[in-house]
Copies of this chain bind each other. A is one copy, B any other.
């Protein structure tokens, strides 16, 4: 059932990009055809904005890297620095992650970080992706994803690391680990994060077909925990956070660690091998060629 429905969304990133383009043309925001290649020129403090409320102990991290919060090396670096700061701050007990960009939570890994780059650079990039996952998946804070837009690939991964996922109930939004549709492969720790969330069988289909789910489908298989109207995503996240913070921190943290430690430790112990795997895969001629074709396709679509 879910498969058939999800397959309707199967054009994947193309569909998402098309949707975003369409939105932007209506919305008056010009979106460059190679927008996923854009690097932010602003200062390192502007790709994300953190609002920390000392009275509640809850921080809200707004991703605000136009147009679609692509996870570039710069973005990931800034993101991780901010999460690390909050993690070290004993007064911060909860973190809500959301997007300031319209219609998208995060479009995932920046494809331009993987195209035409040196192996060394690719390795540095991948290490930053690992770092983002490690920081979030093992965070001592309560983490809630306030998914107020589409969240493919790396954007979905970021959501999956959180303790709870609230998604805007807009059927135009989609979420999923759709890497195979681009000819690339989600590594084992993406896979294990997904298996831990939706179980082995749904993960198998989702990953092999690179499925993107609309909110209802995502809720049905457990990829997200709750749907609310678009304008209530953030307020619901704040309310839900209160319930999580009612639990004594030490008991919740030990329990969270017990649930996630095996998965975290596996990446920690295989981190270098995982980087090598990624670099040797992504720098293959055949993979570079398909990435180039994909980028050309995006340009033509714009043209």
Contact = CB atoms under 8 A, between A and B. Distances in A.
B201 A247 contact: no
A200 B208 contact: no
Copies in the complex: 3
A247 B180 contact: yes
A290 B247 CA distance: 13
A200 B209 contact: no
Given A183-B251, A251-B184, A200 B195 contact: yes
A196 B185 contact: no
A225 B243 CA distance: 28
Given A196-B201, A208-B252, A243 B186 contact: no
B201 A197 contact: yes
Interface residues of A, number: 50
Interface in A178-229: 179-186, 188, 191, 195-201, 203-205, 207-210, 219, 222, 225-226
B198 A201 contact: yes
Main secondary structure of the interface of A (DSSP, over half): helix
Given A201-B222, A247-B180, A191 B10 contact: no
Interface string A2-24: 01100100100000000000000
A198 B222 CA distance: 13
Interface stretch (A47-55, A87-95, A122-130, A253-261): A253-261
A74 interface: no
B250 A183 contact: yes
Given A3-B226, A7-B243, A183 B258 contact: no
Contacts of A181: 247-248
A246 interface: yes
A19 to B, nearest CB: 19
Contacts of A7: 243
B199 A244 contact: no
Given A7-B243, A200-B195, A201-B222, A208 B248 contact: no
Given A3-B225, A183-B248, A207-B255, 17 more contacts: A3-B164, A3-B226, A4-B226, A7-B243, A180-B255, A181-B248, A182-B251, A185-B254, A185-B255, A185-B258, A188-B258, A191-B259, A198-B201, A199-B199, A201-B222, A208-B244, A209-B247
